[in-house]
């Protein structure tokens, strides 16, 4: 019960921790946010060579028109001018070429720089990513650890609980077993007592029935004239539960036919021992279904 | 659960009970000392003519007189079955019978009849014996005694003695001073008596040889007592050498070669043994008292005799091999005429107990325990003689002024008178088993 009462606070604490962790983590993320959102771009000057050519052609066209107007007059001029123009053009071209070169260089530079920056950025990004990754990993590890811990804890808890339950169960079992054992003992004691009582009772009953059977047989026994003191015949009697004689036969002969006969006859003369029918069936089975009768005359004349 | 527990408990009890199982033993030491109840149903007669004897009645009487049986009176019988199909055990059980005998006679040829007899155990409801005997019409008594013997043997394990005979002496006073003495031979029950010797002088002490072929007796026919041997088959008689003085009380040795007798030729009565072959006489007692009434032990090793050497008649035993003398009777002031049963265990005698007024009675002493039982209350008995199976003692007694024969079973249960014969009857002697 006490264990269970910790669960709710524990969960609450866990929640608070998680909330704080969440808040902090967004804060940490915020520093990286602008870098990622606004990347630094390099302003490159694009130079259109075709446009330049087109303008030169237009200027040449204009010059031609002027030349045509003043062609003859200004042939020389023109020629010079052409040369100048060509020079100029060459210079211009060279300039343009140089400019283009520089521009290209610059562009290359810029490109390089950009690439460099890009690389740096990539590296940074990578680094960040790595860091992120690491962080994530760490977080994951942490989470995992936490989860594991949690799991462990839970497991431990479960285990503990299970153990407790097992223990309780064991205890219960033990108690039950003990109770059962006690009950069994009590039962055994009772049984023993009952048996002892039953034994005593059955002994009494047996004693009773023994003298009853003896009396019946003594009434039924016609001692023959050939009987002598010291003669002894043992007759085995099989009784039926209703007390009737099932069969009787000589188990041990007296050596005297008439004596043996008289013993058997005594049993068959009685034919039925009515009180045997009242005997408890188990007792009957045990002691009375088959019994021995010793015919041993006492106090005969001889 | 509860049920299972109960079952388990039950099993446990059963197991324990199995282990504790000990056979119950009941000891029966007392009983009713009563003769066996038997019903001898009148035999059926399918011979077509009346029979001269009631065979079943003779059988019944034989069994009853042995003392071993108490037959059912005919008038109490509910029916007279003559064969098994007519026999209802229940009826006889209700009548408290243990055994039932039924039988029927049929003619065999002109003069013979065959009697089938069957013995049933009422209580166990089974047949114990089923036989038949063929006899001539005028020998029905023999047949009856034979049947009684068979039944007796089957039920007691002892050989029946109903086919044995007795001899006895009768004396008649024909006229003053004129007497007639007869030696008579009869069935054991006294029936069919016939005279085998008649004399005007006393006949005494008849005794059977062990093979039942001859008798020895004392006759005064010559005026002096002399011992004779008479062969029953031929009637031939032989006088044994007689000696001066008293010649008396002969007794055959079991092997028939010797005769013990009493002679007074040396002064007072002493016991001698006469070898019948060599005629050698040997004196075996030597005392100034009277020694008389010798009788052989069944094993032939010793003689018992009566002697008054102790001041009053008592019975002694003499070992023949070493002449060792032993007094057997101590109870009473008079014991004589001792006879041993064939098993040598019981001694029958004429006994008078101490104290005045008591008469002479038949007593039996158990030589094993020394116990003595007086069997009769007649007061005047003499000459007891025991049936060869030891079941009955026959003796002479006085009825009024007349001597009669009577018998008592060895256990004293049954006592009966022999059929009346004319004259004074005395000195009966029971034959051995006869073939």
- CATH label of the domain that carries residue B103: 3.40.50.10070
Best of A186, A187, A189, A225 to disrupt the B interface (most B CBs within 10 Å) is A225
Among A80-94, B12-26, B359-373, top mean pLDDT goes to: B359-373
Contacts of A262 in chain B (CB under 8 A): 31, 36
Q: Compare all CA atoms of chain B with the CA of A217 and give the residue at the minimum distance.
A: B28
Q: Per-residue pLDDT for B309 more than 70?
A: yes
* Domain tally, chain A: 2
Compute CA distances A266 → A240, A245, B28, B395, whole Å.
17, 11, 10, 34
Say what the pLDDT of residue B378 is.
74
Complete edge-to-edge strand list for the sheet that includes strand B415-417? B382-386, B392-399, B402-409, B415-417
Residues A141 and A245 in one domain: no
End-of-domain residue from the set B97, B121, B156:
B156
Find the CATH number of the domain harbouring B350.
2.120.10.30
Closest CA–CA distance from residue B151 to any residue of chain A (Å): 12
Contact B413 A297 (CB under 8 A): no
> For residue B363, what are its two tokens?
């007593």
Report which of B226, B267, B266 is spatially closest to residue B247, judged by C-alpha positions: B226
Contact A217 B28 (CB under 8 A): yes
Contact B24 A256 (CB under 8 A): no
Contacts of A217 in chain B (CB under 8 A): 26, 28
End-of-domain residue from the set A130, A146, A162:
A162
Query: In chain B, which among 413-432 make CB contacts under 8 A with chain A?
Result: 413
Residues B149 and B179 in one domain: no
Say what the pLDDT of residue B61 is.
94
> For residue B137, what are its two tokens?
């019409």
Q: Per-residue pLDDT for B198 more than 60?
A: yes
Contacts of A298 in chain B (CB under 8 A): 29-30
Contacts of B48 (CB under 8 A, 6+ apart): B107
Query: How long, in residues, is chain A?
Result: 302
Residue B287 DSSP label? -
Contact B156 A258 (CB under 8 A): yes
Domain contains B87: yes
Residues B214 and B319 in one domain: yes
Residues A230 and A124 in one domain: no
Domain contains B108: yes
Contact B29 A297 (CB under 8 A): yes
- H-helix or E-strand spanning residue A278: none
Size of interface A-B (CB pairs under 8 A): 131
Domain contains A184: no
3 state DSSP class of A105: helix
Say what the pLDDT of residue A47 is.
58
Domain contains B238: yes
B239 phi and psi angles, rounded to 5 deg: -95, 125
Domain contains A89: yes
Output the DSSP codes for B206-271.
EEE-TTSSEEEEEE-TTSS-EEEEEETTT--EEE----SS-EEEEEE-TTSSEEEEEE-TTSS-EE
Query: In chain B, which among 148-207 make CB contacts under 8 A with chain A?
Result: 155-158
Q: Helices marked H in chain A — which ranges?
A: 2-5, 7-30, 33-37, 49-69, 75-220, 257-270, 281-283
Find the CATH number of the domain harbouring A225.
3.30.1150.10
Residues B218 and B110 in one domain: no
Contact A191 B9 (CB under 8 A): yes
End-of-domain residue from the set A162, A183, A206:
A162
Contact B156 A225 (CB under 8 A): yes
Say what the pLDDT of residue B414 is.
85
What is the mean predicted confidence (pLDDT) over B291-305? 93
Residues B280 and B416 in one domain: yes
Domain contains A139: yes
Say what the pLDDT of residue B318 is.
94
Cβ contacts of A132-139, under 8 Å, gap ≥ 24: none
Closest CA–CA distance from residue B92 to any residue of chain A (Å): 12
Check: CB of residue A302 under 8 Å from CB of residue A230.
no
Q: Compare all CA atoms of chain A with the CA of B370 and give the residue at the minimum distance.
A: A302
Q: pLDDT higher for A68 or B102?
A: B102
Compare CB distances from A265 to B67, B123, B158 and report the shortest one's residue: B123
Contacts of B29 in chain A (CB under 8 A): 218, 296-299
End-of-domain residue from the set A122, A142, A162:
A162
Contacts of B16 in chain A (CB under 8 A): 195
What is the mean predicted confidence (pLDDT) over B312-316? 94
Say what the pLDDT of residue A225 is.
80
Q: Which conformational region is residue B361 in: left (phi greater than 0), alpha (psi within -120 to 50 degrees), or beta?
A: beta
3 state DSSP class of A48: coil
Q: Is B131 on the interface with A (CB under 8 A)?
A: no
End-of-domain residue from the set B108, B132, B156:
B156
Q: What share of chain A is helix, strand, coil (3-state, %, to 5)?
A: 75, 10, 15
Contact B25 A291 (CB under 8 A): yes
What is the mean predicted confidence (pLDDT) over B148-161? 92
Report which of A238, A240, A242, A237 is spatially closest to residue A278, judged by C-alpha positions: A242
Write the pLDDT tens digit of every residue in B372-411: 999 988 788 999 999 998 989 999 998 888 889 999 988 8
CA distance A52 to A60: 12
Indicate the average pLDDT of chain B. 89
Report which of A237, A223, A233 is spatially closest to residue A256, judged by C-alpha positions: A233
Residues A60 and A158 in one domain: yes
Check: CB of residue B95 under 8 Å from CB of residue B114.
no
Residues A231 and A155 in one domain: no
Residues B386 and B248 in one domain: yes
Q: Is A266 on the interface with B (CB under 8 A)?
A: yes
Half-sphere exposure in the Cβ direction for B211 (13 Å, CA): 8
Compare CB distances from B67 to A191, A218, A225 and report the shortest one's residue: A225
Domain contains B199: yes
Q: Compare all CA atoms of chain A with the CA of B11 and give the residue at the minimum distance.
A: A282
Domain contains A232: yes
Compare CB distances from B31 to A213, A222, A288 and report the shortest one's residue: A222
* Domain tally, chain B: 2
Report which of B368, B294, B371 is spatially closest to residue B338, judged by C-alpha positions: B294
Closest CA–CA distance from residue A221 to any residue of chain B (Å): 5
| Structural domain containing residue A124 | 45-162
pLDDT tens-digit profile, chain A (302 residues)? 566 778 888 888 888 888 888 888 766 665 554 455 555 555 555 656 676 777 777 887 877 777 677 777 777 777 777 777 777 777 777 777 777 777 777 777 777 777 777 777 777 777 777 778 777 777 777 777 787 788 888 888 888 888 888 888 888 888 888 888 888 888 888 888 877 887 787 778 888 888 999 999 999 898 888 888 889 999 999 999 999 999 999 999 999 888 998 999 899 989 899 998 988 888 888 888 999 999 999 888 77
Residue B84 DSSP label? G
Residues A131 and A61 in one domain: yes
Say what the pLDDT of residue B11 is.
56
Residues A58 and A150 in one domain: yes
Q: Is A221 on the interface with B (CB under 8 A)?
A: yes
Output the DSSP codes for A120-141.
HHHHHHHHHHHHHHHHHHHHHH
Pairing of strands B214-219, B203-208: antiparallel
Closest CA–CA distance from residue B76 to any residue of chain A (Å): 20
End-of-domain residue from the set B122, B138, B156:
B156
Domain contains B8: no
> For residue B257, what are its two tokens?
């070669």
Domain contains A36: no
Closest CA–CA distance from residue B61 to any residue of chain A (Å): 17
Domain contains A116: yes
Compute CA distances B232 → B66, B214, B253, B434, whole Å.
26, 5, 18, 12
CA distance A239 to B395: 48
Contact B24 A268 (CB under 8 A): no
Residues A141 and A231 in one domain: no
Contact A265 B369 (CB under 8 A): no
Check: CB of residue B262 under 8 Å from CB of residue B290.
no
Q: Is A264 on the interface with B (CB under 8 A)?
A: yes
Domain contains A87: yes
Compute CA distances A199 → A86, B21, B36, whole Å.
151, 12, 41
Q: Compare all CA atoms of chain A with the CA of B13 and give the residue at the minimum distance.
A: A195
Banded model confidence at residue B19, pLDDT cuts 50, 70, 90: very low
Contacts of A221 in chain B (CB under 8 A): 28, 30-32
Closest CA–CA distance from residue B188 to any residue of chain A (Å): 20
Residues B419 and B281 in one domain: yes
Q: Per-residue pLDDT for B12 more than 60?
A: no
Q: Is A216 on the interface with B (CB under 8 A)?
A: no
Contact B68 A224 (CB under 8 A): yes
Domain contains B423: yes
Say what the pLDDT of residue A119 is.
79
Report which of B207, B254, B201, B255 is spatially closest to residue B229, judged by C-alpha positions: B207
Contact B366 A301 (CB under 8 A): yes
Residues B261 and B335 in one domain: yes
> For residue B215, what are its two tokens?
């008798």
Domain contains B205: yes
| Structural domain containing residue B104 | 36-156
Residues A51 and A146 in one domain: yes
Say what the pLDDT of residue B143 is.
94
Compute CA distances A98 → A92, A103, A108, A218, whole Å.
9, 8, 14, 161
Query: In chain A, which among 156-195 make CB contacts under 8 A with chain B?
Result: 187, 191, 195
Closest CA–CA distance from residue A288 to any residue of chain B (Å): 7
Domain contains A73: yes
Compare CB distances from B26 to A217, A256, A264 and report the shortest one's residue: A217
Residues B200 and B61 in one domain: no
Q: What share of chain B is helix, strand, coil (3-state, %, to 5)?
A: 15, 45, 40
Domain contains B337: yes
Residues B390 and B259 in one domain: yes
Q: Is A249 on the interface with B (CB under 8 A)?
A: no
Closest CA–CA distance from residue B104 to any residue of chain A (Å): 26
């Amino acid at each position: 019960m006490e264990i269970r009462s910790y669960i709710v606070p524990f969960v609450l604490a866990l929640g608070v921790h998680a909330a704080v962790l969440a808040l902090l983590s967004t804060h940490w993320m915020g520093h990286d946010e602008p870098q990622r959102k606004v990347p630094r771009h390099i302003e490159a000057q694009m130079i259109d060579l075709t446009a330049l050519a087109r303008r030169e052609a237009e200027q040449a066209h204009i010059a031609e028109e002027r030349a045509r107007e003043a062609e003859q007059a200004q042939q020389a001029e023109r020629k010079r001018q052409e040369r100048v123009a060509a020079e100029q053009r060459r210079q211009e071209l060279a300039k343009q070429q140089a400019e283009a070169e520089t521009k290209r260089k610059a562009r290359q530079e810029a490109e390089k720089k950009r690439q460099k920056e890009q690389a740096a950025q990539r590296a940074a990004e990578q680094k960040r990513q790595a860091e992120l990754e690491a962080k994530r990993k760490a977080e994951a590890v942490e989470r995992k650890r936490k989860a594991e811990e949690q799991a462990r804890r839970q497991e431990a808890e479960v285990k503990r609980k299970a153990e407790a339950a097992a223990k309780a169960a064991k205890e219960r079992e033990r108690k039950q077993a003990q109770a059962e054992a006690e009950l069994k003992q009590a039962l055994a004691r009772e049984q023993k007592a009952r048996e002892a009582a039953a034994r005593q009772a059955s002994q009494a009953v047996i004693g009773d029935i023994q003298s009853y059977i003896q009396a019946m047989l003594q009434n039924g026994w016609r001692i023959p004239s050939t009987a002598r003191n010291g003669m002894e015949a043992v007759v085995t009697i099989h009784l039926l539960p209703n007390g009737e004689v099932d069969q009787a036969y000589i188990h041990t002969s007296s050596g005297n036919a008439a004596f043996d006969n008289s013993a058997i006859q005594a049993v068959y003369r009685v034919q039925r021992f009515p009180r045997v029918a009242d005997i408890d069936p188990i007792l009957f089975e045990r002691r009375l279904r088959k019994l021995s009768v010793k015919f041993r005359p006492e106090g005969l004349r001889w | 659960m509860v049920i299972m527990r109960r079952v388990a408990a039950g099993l446990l009890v059963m197991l324990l009970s199995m282990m504790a199982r000990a056979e119950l033993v009941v000891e029966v030491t007392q009983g009713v000392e009563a003769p066996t109840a038997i019903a001898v149903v009148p035999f059926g007669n399918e011979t077509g003519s009346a029979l001269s004897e009631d065979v079943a009645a003779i059988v019944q009487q034989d069994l009853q007189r042995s003392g071993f049986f108490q037959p059912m009176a005919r008038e109490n019988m509910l029916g007279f079955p003559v064969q098994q199909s007519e026999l209802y055990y229940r009826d006889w059980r209700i009548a408290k019978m243990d055994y039932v005998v039924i039988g029927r006679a049929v003619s065999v040829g002109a003069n013979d009849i065959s009697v089938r007899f069957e013995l049933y155990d009422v209580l166990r409801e089974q047949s114990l014996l089923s036989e038949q005997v063929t006899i001539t019409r005028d020998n029905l008594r023999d047949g009856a005694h034979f049947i009684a013997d068979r039944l007796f043997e089957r039920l007691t394990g002892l050989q029946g003695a109903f086919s044995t005979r007795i001899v006895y002496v009768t004396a008649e006073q024909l006229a003053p001073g004129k007497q007639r003495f007869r030696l008579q031979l009869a069935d054991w029950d006294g029936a069919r008596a016939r005279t085998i010797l008649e004399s005007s002088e006393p006949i005494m002490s008849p005794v059977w040889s062990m093979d039942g072929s001859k008798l020895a007796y004392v006759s005064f026919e010559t005026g002096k007592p002399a011992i004779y041997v008479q062969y029953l088959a031929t009637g031939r008689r032989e006088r044994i050498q007689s000696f001066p003085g008293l010649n008396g009380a002969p007794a055959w040795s079991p092997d028939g070669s010797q005769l013990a007798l009493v002679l007074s030729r040396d002064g007072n009565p002493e016991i001698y043994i006469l070898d019948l072959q060599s005629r050698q006489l040997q004196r075996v007692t030597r005392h100034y008292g009277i020694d008389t009434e010798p009788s052989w032990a069944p094993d032939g090793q010793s003689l018992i005799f009566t002697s008054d050497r102790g001041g009053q008649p008592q019975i002694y035993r003499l070992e023949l091999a070493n002449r060792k003398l032993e007094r057997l009777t101590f109870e009473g002031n008079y014991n004589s005429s001792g006879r041993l049963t064939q098993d040598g265990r019981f001694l029958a005698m004429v006994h008078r107990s101490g104290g005045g007024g008591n008469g002479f009675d038949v007593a039996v002493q158990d030589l094993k325990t020394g116990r003595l039982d007086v069997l009769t209350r007649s007061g005047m008995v003499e000459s007891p003689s025991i049936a060869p199976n030891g079941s009955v003692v026959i003796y002479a007694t006085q009825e009024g002024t007349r001597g009669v024969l009577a018998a008592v079973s060895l256990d004293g249960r049954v006592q009966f008178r022999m059929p009346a014969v004319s004259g004074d009857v005395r000195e009966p002697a029971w034959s051995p088993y006869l073939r």
